[in-house]
């Protein structure tokens, strides 16, 4: 074969190869599957990173629609572990959860995805679950990235891929998701004998603190072990347990019980009642009365892992505080330690038969979100109004101009007659908020809290000043605060004796929150 012919054949092959490459590249660019959140490019998991800055997931979350949250809490109440699974109203649970999810309540969206996988809705399956999670990812919800990681690890609705799973978990952790933080911390906390593998104790420690500060219960037990002995900068133990480290580990376990950690309660039962080694126990002394109470709380958490005991110090404070009297019953112990609310979670209010699109439950108000669309079809359910200047006469003729109306997903927006405007109108989205948004009214699933009468007159104090009133106190940040969703909760409450200082967010909650942002409100006065 001549050199000239050889060069021509090589050129033809190269041209053909280039053409195929361009076709494939064009297909890749035009393939809509590449735009799906599940297929996004993410950095590979880096177990040997040098640092891990803590971000609170709450700062990334979209605000919840208040009415949707009421439906969500109602659905959660129907899933009470005290109701046998076979006797639960799964149809109603799914209906309420779907109603909330259609208002883009991200927790409801993720729960609904789980119901699809469990077959509660026979018309929905794995693909629908993945699409719901992707919708939440588009909203920027860190927990949705964590869930997608789980789907890739298990091959649920996507091709099984552990590498992508860890990439999604890393992304979720960097966004502040407590579950992803807890999972990755466990993988990095592999001990001295595997230091050349994934072991990264300093980062694992930071991840655990970041997760626990946001209310995660899984990390408390591991975190207390890492706190029980002095550690070097590389995470290696550099000394024996001492009084300071033992006290720190004890407080981590106690906080873990408040957050709902059953293993923490069982460990404190052992530490106070049956320590394996008196020289290594973190309890300052044997105290079988304290041990008995921890044991009972641990049993309760085993039965219902959603329980929280924020006011634990009312019946079970750490030494040297004197142990308060107790009648020995499980009911009184749990009631004293659980969170309290002055009003029950808002129930689902039946819509009057005569109500139209513009009906709004009187328990709520509407707030403009800043979101808008020019689409002609509703992308997600909620209240919408066209952003059009109009006269009173126009509003009387077309109610859609006067006030927001409720639209279902997939429904066409009303036609707006306009003589002077051109093009499709811009529709603005509104979400429901409580009728009294500034009221101190924490909400939770009813079985997880105790209802109390409001304190009158109301008592509130600043974080940096002790109050001369003992009782159950609720921390509160202003409406719209970035950490509102993890501060204005019953599980953040605390029991204090008169004159005791309030918990400090950074020191006691492991949460980056200026104490000046927090006010404390008395929920129940001490006897």
User: Cα–Cα distance between 215 and 525 in angstroms, integer?
Assistant: 25
Closest Cα to residue 394, out of 372, 354, 421?
Answer: 421
φ, ψ of residue 138 in degrees (nearest 5): -65, -25
CB 521 within 8 A of CB 459: yes
CB 209 within 8 A of CB 50: no
What is the model's pLDDT at position 54? Answer: 95
> Binning pLDDT at 50, 70 and 90, where does residue 31 land?
low
Mean pLDDT of 104-126: 95
What is the model's pLDDT at position 343? Answer: 73
What is the model's pLDDT at position 405? Answer: 95
> Binning pLDDT at 50, 70 and 90, where does residue 389 land?
confident
Does position 5 have pLDDT exceeding 80, yes or no?
no
> pLDDT tens digits for 418-453?
655 556 799 999 999 999 988 999 999 999 999 999
What is the model's pLDDT at position 13? Answer: 46
What is the model's pLDDT at position 514? Answer: 94
Neighbours of 197 (CB within 10 A): 12
Does position 471 have pLDDT exceeding 60, yes or no?
yes
Mean pLDDT of 170-188: 97
Does position 454 have pLDDT exceeding 60, yes or no?
yes
Instruction: Choose the weakest-confidence range: 358-362, 364-368, 413-417, 501-505.
Output: 413-417
Query: The whole model's pTM is what?
Result: 0.89
Is residue 366 exposed (0-12), middle (13-18) or buried (19+ Cβ within 10 Å)? Answer: middle
Q: Which residues contact 519 (CB under 8 A, 6 or more apart)?
A: 460, 461, 462, 463, 475, 476, 477
Q: How far is CA 59 from CA 62, 139, 409, 437, 483, in A?
A: 9, 13, 27, 19, 6
What is the model's pLDDT at position 10? Answer: 41
Phi/psi-derived region of residue 260, left when phi > 0, alpha when psi is between -120 and 50, beta in every other case: left
Beta bridge partners of 373: 427
Q: Which residues contact 394 (CB under 8 A, 6 or more apart)?
A: 401
Would you kindly state where each structural domain of the chain is located, as residue ranges? Answer: 242-337, 364-434, 440-525
User: Cα–Cα distance between 98 and 112 in angstroms, integer?
Assistant: 7
User: Cα–Cα distance between 391 and 410 in angstroms, integer?
Assistant: 29
Instruction: Choose the weakest-confidence range: 27-31, 152-156, 303-307, 392-396.
Output: 27-31
Please, what is the average pLDDT of the chain? 90
């Amino acid at each position: 074969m001549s050199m000239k012919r050889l060069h021509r054949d090589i050129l033809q092959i190269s041209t053909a190869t280039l053409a195929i490459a361009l076709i494939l590249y064009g297909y890749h660019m035009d393939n809509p599957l590449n735009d799906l959140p599940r297929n996004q490019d993410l950095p590979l998991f880096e177990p040997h990173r040098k640092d891990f800055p803590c971000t609170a997931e709450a700062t990334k979350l979209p605000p919840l629609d208040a009415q949707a949250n009421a439906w969500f809490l109602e659905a959660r109440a129907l899933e009470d572990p005290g109701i046998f699974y076979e006797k639960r109203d799964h149809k109603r649970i799914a209906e309420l959860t779907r109603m909330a999810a259609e208002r883009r309540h991200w927790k409801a969206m993720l729960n609904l995805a789980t119901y699809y996988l469990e077959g509660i809705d026979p018309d929905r399956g794995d693909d629908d679950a993945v699409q719901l999670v992707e919708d939440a990812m588009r909203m920027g919800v860190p927990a949705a990235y964590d869930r997608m990681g789980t789907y890739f690890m298990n091959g649920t609705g996507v091709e099984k891929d552990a590498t992508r799973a860890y990439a999604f978990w890393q992304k979720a952790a960097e966004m502040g998701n407590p579950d992803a933080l807890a999972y990755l911390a466990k993988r990095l906390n592999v001990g001295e004998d595997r230091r050349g593998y994934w072991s990264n104790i300093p980062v694992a420690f930071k991840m655990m603190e970041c997760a626990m500060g946001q209310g995660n219960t899984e990390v408390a037990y591991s975190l207390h072990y890492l706190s029980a002995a002095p550690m070097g900068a590389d995470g290696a133990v550099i000394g024996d347990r001492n009084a300071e480290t033992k006290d720190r580990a004890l407080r981590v376990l106690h906080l873990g019980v408040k957050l709902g950690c059953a293993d923490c309660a069982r460990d404190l039962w052992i530490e106070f009642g049956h320590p394996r080694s008196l020289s290594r126990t973190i309890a300052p002394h044997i105290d079988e009365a304290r041990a008995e109470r921890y044991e009972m709380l641990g049993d309760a958490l085993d039965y219902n892992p959603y329980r929280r005991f924020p006011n634990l110090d009312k019946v079970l404070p750490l030494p040297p505080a004197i142990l308060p009297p107790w009648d020995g019953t499980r009911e009184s112990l749990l009631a004293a330690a659980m969170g309290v609310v002055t009003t029950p979670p808002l129930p689902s209010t039946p819509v009057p038969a005569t109500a139209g699109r513009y009906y709004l439950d009187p328990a709520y108000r509407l707030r403009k979100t800043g979101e808008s669309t020019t689409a002609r079809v509703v992308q997600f359910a909620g209240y919408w109004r066209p952003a059009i200047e109009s006269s009173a006469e126009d509003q009387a003729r077309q109610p859609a101009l006067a006030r927001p109306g409720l639209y279902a997903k997939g429904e066409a927006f009303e036609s707006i007659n306009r003589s002077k405007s051109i093009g499709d109108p811009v529709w603005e989205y509104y979400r429901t908020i409580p009728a009294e948004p500034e009221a101190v009214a924490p909400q939770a699933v009813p079985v997880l809290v105790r209802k109390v009468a409001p304190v009158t007159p109301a008592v509130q104090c600043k974080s940096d000043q002790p109050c001369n009133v003992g009782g159950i106190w609720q921390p509160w940040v202003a409406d719209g605060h970035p950490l509102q969703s993890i501060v204005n909760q019953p599980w953040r409450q605390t029991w204090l004796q008169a004159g005791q200082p309030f918990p400090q967010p950074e020191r006691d909650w492991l949460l980056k929150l200026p104490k000046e942002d927090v006010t404390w409100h008395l929920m129940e006065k001490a006897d």
